[in-house]
Amino acid sequence: MSPPSQRSDEPQGNRRDLSNLWALRHYLWDYRGRVALALLALITAKGANVAVPLVLKEVVDALDAGTAAMGIPVFLLAAYGALRLAGTGFTQVRDILFARVRYRAMRRLTVRTLAHLHELSLRFHLERKTGAISSDLQRGASSLSTLLNYMVFSILPVAVEFLLVLGILLGSYSWVFAAAVALAVAVYIGFTVALSNWRMSERLAANRLESEANNQAVESLVNYETVKYFGNEGHELHRTDDTLADWEQMAVRSQTSLSLLNLGQGAIVAVGVTVVLVLAADGVRGGWLSLGDLVAVNALLLQLFMPLNFLGTVYRQTRYALADMDRLVGLLREAPEVTDAPDAELLRVDRGEVRFDNVDFAYQPERPILRDVSFAVPPGAKVAVVGPSGAGKSTLVRLLFRFFDVSGGTIRVDGQAIREVTQDSLRRQIAIVPQDTVLFNDTLYYNIAYARAGATPEEVAEAARVAHLEEFIASLPDGFDTLVGERGLKLSGGEKQRVAIARAVLKNAPIMVFDEATSSLDTHAEQGILTALREAAADHTTLAIAHRLSTIVDADRILVMADGEIIESGTHRELVAAGGEYARLWRTQQEEEEALE
């Protein structure tokens, strides 16, 4: 990015940073008492530190005057030690008081962000990479900790100390001393910020190139056989070396700029201290300052400038933290697409009728998915939906769960429009066996019991039995305590689908949805599961999305969809006899199964 664009973006970035910080003020307000006490401890600690050179001045002046009574210097030395101890002690008190504020703020921000992510609609999660969300969540909480850490432990202490030193110089010495120190600090900060901004782009470029080189090297090793097949070892080495050559240039420039930063900071401090000491030495020679004043001024300056050595690092890390904070605050400002109406009521299910009335829907306006879809699932009945991929079958399930709102028409449950009830009460009344079952990296018991909080072990075991998991679990050394691995990778597709069926059975909701519930099972296992599904669906309103027609021949009604519309409707016998699209699909699948046998 060119310097002009950086300058033009700076005010807007600063305003956004202040806005982001203001948006997070609530996370500190709960502990405002602790914050106030921590700030008081901070000021006391810095006051003690600034008082140390003043006591040292009195000690030097007392000794320089050749005081015979040693009680005065001993008392002053004792005060010197007490102030040193007070400075350290109140600093630790500040840390202790602020620890609760800092980590509670991180905890609340993390939980609030996670809650907000759960509130966001499915479209957001489909369009955004999970890794990016996880990174924003982690970096956002860390950025809050970093900002609080640098503000309270670095920036604010230096600012307080600077004001105290400036006050002492103005009150006890000539205004020229205070002006010289203020000018030196201003030049120091301006130089550090300007060079740090320039260094930041160099460092980021070096980091990017280093990551790119590492990625190229690892990729060439992961694809070892492919590299060997085509004899491209030299090509891979050359590609990585070219990237590392660019990285070398950027890294050298970054290191050189760091040395220039340190040199410039040292020069500014040296000039500032020298000018003030020359003024103090002139005062001592002129008799209007004592030798102790010279020592005190020197100690005050060193005490002030030493923490400023870390200003470059503090500024750079603060900028990084503000950038991470900006992403997190942007995430928190993301508005949910689907929200409860202000007067939303709880869904009351007496019979369990599901009705789609003239429903239209499109993920993007230019690509309609559903067109004027109307059908009803009577209480206790089983209605199946079949059709080719892309017909809109699974979209019906997403709309019923209200992951999206319909573009037109209405979906009702027992006569209540689902837009007029709370999402939570709606989803509690529906159990689902999804096509793709994703499990938590926990035990089998935890994953089955996840369907209903508070379920007893006997109820979990019964759900597993209905889902034909009983024998499988009994064969495992750890039984229900077996870990399933991340996303359930330690289980086969069929085993994961049985766990999903057990969940649906355990939830025992009046409405059940089977979204290709046997897609991961072989024909033999499918027959056992179909029996279990029929048992689980008994006396429940059931909507079944199916690819294999053999799994829904017992449905009370079958809907055939194509291009987002219902083109046929009837029982299995009626549709086969009609000789339409369903009959064609049935014949095709029968021929495929016969060929496999």
> Residue 417: its pLDDT value, please?
94
> Under a CB-based contact definition with an 8 Å cutoff, are residues 409 and 393 in contact?
no
* Contact (Cβ atoms closer than 8 angstroms) between residue 93 and residue 41: yes
How far is residue 95 CA from its own chain's centroid?
27
Listed range (211-215, 304-308, 408-412) with the worst mean pLDDT: 304-308
Cβ proximity of 67 and 73 under 8 Å: yes
Segment 30-63, tens digit of pLDDT: 777 888 888 888 888 888 888 888 787 777 777 7
Give me the pLDDT at residue 576, please.
92
Q: Is domain 354-596 classified as CATH 3.40.50.300?
A: yes
3-class SS string, 38-56: HHHHHHHHHHHHHHHHHHH
Cβ(526)–Cβ(499) under 8 Å?
A: no
Query: Among 3.40.50.300, 3.40.50.720, 1.20.1560.10, 1.10.3720.10, what is the CATH number of 15-172+313-337?
Result: 1.20.1560.10
Strand order in the sheet with 416-417: 367-377, 354-364, 408-413, 416-417
Average pLDDT over residues 114-121: 83
Tens digits of per-residue pLDDT, 132-184? 666 666 766 777 777 777 777 777 788 888 888 888 888 778 788 888 888 98
Whether 300 shows a pLDDT value over 90: the answer reads no
State how far the Cα of 472 lies from the Cα of 85, in Å rounded to an integer.
67
Where are the chain's structural domains? 15-172+313-337, 174-288, 354-596
Q: Please classify residue 131 by burial: count the beta carbons closer than 10 Å to its beta carbon, then call 0-12 exposed, 13-18 middle and 19+ buried.
A: exposed
> Residue 235: which residues within 8 A CB-CB, separation 6 or more?
none
pLDDT for residue 104:
83
Q: What is the pLDDT of residues 523-533, one digit of tens each?
A: 666 666 677 67
DSSP calls for 153-177: IIIHHHHHHHHHHHHHHHHHS-HHH
pLDDT at 307 over 80: no
CA end-to-end span of the chain, whole Å?
A: 65
Q: What is the pLDDT of residue 236?
A: 87
Beta bridge partners of 515: 545
- Per cent of the chain over pLDDT 90 is 18
Greater pLDDT, 12 or 411: 411
Given CA atoms 503, 507, 512, 513 in this order, what sign does their dihedral have? negative
Residue 23 pLDDT: 67
Compute the distance between CA of residue 545 and CA of residue 377 in angstroms, rounded to an integer. 13
Helix (H, G, I), strand (E, B) or coil at 367: strand
Indicate the pLDDT class of residue 422, thresholds 50, 70 and 90. Answer: very high
Per-residue pLDDT for 597 more than 70? no
Q: Is the pTM for the entire model greater than 0.75?
A: no
CA-based torsion, 103, 107, 112, 113: positive or negative: positive
Q: What is the pLDDT of residue 409?
A: 93
Distances (CA, A) of 344 to 341, 357, 407: 5, 20, 19
Name which of 174-178, 200-204, 344-348, 570-574 the model is least confident about: 200-204
pLDDT of residue 429: 93
* Predicted pLDDT at 53: 81
Residue 521 has pLDDT above 80, yes or no: no
C-alpha of 406 from chain center: 29
Arithmetic mean of pLDDT over the chain? 82
User: Regarding beta strands 408-413 and 354-364, do their DSSP bridges make them parallel or antiparallel, or are they unpaired?
Assistant: antiparallel
pLDDT given for residue 389 in this prediction: 81
With 70 as the cut, is the pLDDT of residue 200 above it? yes
Cα 348 from chain centre: 36
Using DSSP's 3-state secondary structure scheme, residue 405 falls into coil
User: What percentage of the chain reaches a pLDDT higher than 70?
Assistant: 88
What pLDDT sits at residue 120?
83
Please determine whether the domains at 15-172+313-337 and 354-596 fall in the same fold group of CATH. no
Mean pLDDT of the region 349-354 = 90
- The confidence band for 12, taking pLDDT boundaries of 50, 70 and 90, is very low
Neighbours of 169 (CB within 10 A): 22
- For 254-286, write each residue's pLDDT tens digit: 788 888 888 888 888 888 888 888 888 888 887
Model confidence at 10, in pLDDT bands (50, 70, 90)? very low
Per-position DSSP letters for 109-165, written without gaps between them: HHHHHHHHHHHS-HHHHHHS-HHHHHHHHHHHHHHHHHHHHHIIIIIHHHHHHHHHH
